[in-house]
């Protein structure tokens, strides 16, 4: 996955609570084994009508948000099943940052495995961002992963929590296997020093 150090992007306000992984990516698209090509299935049941046409009322289909890369949502985003495909769909579409008051625990962890940064903010700040996204045309936010800072050009500055391990995953563009392989020499030395033990 690609390194994520800094990102500036257009914000799309998805004003719903409890968006679960089946809404993000419905179950009929889980048969595919690739990690790419899910962008057309993102929010499928909301995004398309029963006859397959785009739903003009769904915000993702609004022209002004077609280049959005920061998703603003309400509490409990990504709840439900553990499907990693839900993160793949968001990442394939182009989303780099997800903002919400809370996340499903497994979904939250899956984001880091795929180079997406979920930022948890309190309701006061989330409400503030929703108001700004509605009033300011082409509202954008900037994220500095190294400084753990979220800001705009309208005097919004907010630090966010991010543990060092997950921060390094994003900065280095590595998943958990990649992070482990950074210690490959130490692992090999350990194996060699215990080789006699393993043979018993």
Helix, strand, coil distribution of the chain in percent, nearest 5: 40, 20, 40
Q: Mind listing the pLDDT tens digit for each residue in 105-137?
A: 999 999 999 999 999 999 999 999 999 999 999
The Cα angle at residue 76 between residues 72 and 78, in degrees rounded to 5: 80
In this structure, which topology does domain 6-175 adopt according to CATH? Answer: Aconitase; domain 4 (3.20.19)
Residue 48, helix vs strand vs coil: strand
Domain spans in the chain, listed from the N-terminal domain onward: 6-175
Q: What is the pTM of this model?
A: 0.88
Q: Mind listing the pLDDT tens digit for each residue in 156-184?
A: 999 999 999 999 999 999 865 555 445 45
Please tell me the number of Cα atoms within 13 Å of 157 on its side-chain side. 2
Q: Mind listing the pLDDT tens digit for each residue in 72-104?
A: 999 999 999 888 999 999 999 999 999 999 999
Strand ranges of the sheet holding 117-120, from the earlier edge strand across to the other edge = 117-120, 97-100, 70-72, 6-13, 140-144, 149-151, 157-159
Distance CA 50, CA 26 (A): 14
Distance CA 120, CA 194 (A): 43
What pLDDT, on a 0 to 100 scale, did the predictor assign at position 31?
87
**Contact of 144 with 152, CB cutoff 8 Å:** no
């Amino acid at each position: 996955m690609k390194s994520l150090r800094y990102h500036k992007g257009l914000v799309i306000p998805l004003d719903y609570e409890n968006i679960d992984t089946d809404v993000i990516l419905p179950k009929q698209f889980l048969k595919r084994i690739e990690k790419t090509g899910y962008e057309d299935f993102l929010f499928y049941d909301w995004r398309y009508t029963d006859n397959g046409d785009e739903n003009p009322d769904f915000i993702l289909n609004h022209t002004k948000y077609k280049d959005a890369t920061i998703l603003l949502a309400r509490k409990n985003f990504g709840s439900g099943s553990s499907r990693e495909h839900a993160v793949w769909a968001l990442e394939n579409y182009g989303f780099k940052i997800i903002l919400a008051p809370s996340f499903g625990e497994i979904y939250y962890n899956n984001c880091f495995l795929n180079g997406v940064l979920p930022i948890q903010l309190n309701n006061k700040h989330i409400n503030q961002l929703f108001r700004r996204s509605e009033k300011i045309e082409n509202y954008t936010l900037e994220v500095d992963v190294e400084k753990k800072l979220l800001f705009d050009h309208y005097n919004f500055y907010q630090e966010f929590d991010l543990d060092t391990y997950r921060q390094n995953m994003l900065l280095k563009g590595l998943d958990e296997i990649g992070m482990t392989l950074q210690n490959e020499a130490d692992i090999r030395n350990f194996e060699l020093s215990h080789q006699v033990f393993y043979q018993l």
